Structure 1
Amino acid sequence: MHATEIAEILNRPLSQELLARELTRLAYVAKDGTPRNVPIGFTWNGSQIVLCTTTNAPKLPALRHNPAVALTIDTEAFPPQILLVRGRAELDVVDGIPDEYLQSSGTYKMTPEQRVHWEAEVRSLYSSMVRIVVTPTWVKLIDFETTLPSAVEELIQQRDQRP
């Protein structure tokens, strides 16, 4: 997929809404060769999706071995709105707490007091974290009104060609 097409899709208003959500599902291949899919907080910096995790997370050896990932950001309401992203994970160990981690957790519903307590706990627990940076190499936006999954598009075409 060409970079201009990726940018056009990611700059659509619906994509921007989805990129402002708090959770994505990160899919990757584990070291044993089986698939994994984990929910994880993220931030969008305008060109990359940034996820943060502990330095001892089981996903890190797998991502070092095979950095190919897929992300799903979606809604729960009908019709679902879905942003699918593929890319390669770049890992960056950071001393302390990455700003993106605090930003990605900023949308959680917490009282100001809960937020202060949560942040103090985070800072006491993590001396470093790993930033997982994904630059999109393929994207698809599905809203079930103007865009559909490719399999559904194919079925519609087949139906429309029937006598």
Structure 2
Amino acid sequence: MTVRQNEITEVLNRPISQELLARDLTRLAYVAKDGTPRNVPIGFTWNGSQVVMCTSTNAPKLHSLRANPAVALTIDTEVHPPKLLLIRGRAELDAVEGIPDEYLQMNGSYQMTPEQRVEWEAQVRSLYDGMVRIVVTPTWVKLIDFETNLPSAVEELIQQQERQRT
């Protein structure tokens, strides 16, 4: 499935997409080293063109992502009607020394007092000598808000129903 970059950009620039891209967690789906699917929640940040996630250098998902970098991300809400942003792309892995700025940014919206934030950051810096940035540039996106955008299967059922009525 080929999607033009300008179509991806248009979807990602919609207000609902921007709201979702400002959330704390995404669900990262990938194929594990045993060949079975995995879907894990992970903190992320959006830098305007890429989703950036960070993980420890010994995370099991890194072996899997090196073997098969194809990933899918879901960012959604917990209210009715739900809003969902679906993203596909390839994971690029970037090992860095110390704590990436993105890791500190992606945890910035959790409710912490300034004192808790200082303590949390000190713990993070003492635990990790380095991390791996998982960077995904979207190659396909779909926004579903259940008002103006529906899942394709639901759209198909509605069209079938309308054809039967005419």
TM-score in terms of structure 1 length? 0.99
2:18 match: 16
CA–CA separation in structure 2 for the residues paired with 1:108 and 1:62? 29
2:29 match: 27
2:95 match: 93
C-alpha distance after superposition, 1:56-113 (max 9, x if no partner)? 0000000000000000000000000000000000000000000000000001111111
Identity of aligned residues (%): 79
> What is the Cα deviation at residue 150 of structure 1?
0.2
CA–CA separation in structure 2 for the residues paired with 1:35 and 1:112? 39
CA–CA separation in structure 2 for the residues paired with 1:27 and 1:133? 14
CA–CA separation in structure 1 for the residues paired with 2:111 and 2:37? 31
Runs of 4+ displaced beyond 2 Å: none
2:151 match: 149
> Which structure 2 residue ranges, 5 or more long, are not aligned?
none
1:36 match: 38
Of 106, 109, 113, the match for 2:108: 106
> Across the two proteins, how many residue pairs are aligned to each other?
163
Pair 1:59-2:73 in alignment:
no
The alignment partner of 1:32 has SS state of: coil
The alignment partner of 2:19 has SS state of: helix
CA–CA separation in structure 1 for the residues paired with 2:15 and 2:32? 34
The alignment partner of 1:162 has SS state of: helix
TM-score in terms of structure 2 length? 0.97
- Matched to 2:12, the amino acid is L
> Which structure 1 residue ranges, 5 or more long, are not aligned?
none
After superposition, the CA RMSD in angstroms is: 0.4
> What is the Cα deviation at residue 18 of structure 1?
0.3
C-alpha distance after superposition, 1:3-29 (max 9, x if no partner)? 000000000011000000000000000
> What is the Cα deviation at residue 48 of structure 1?
0.2
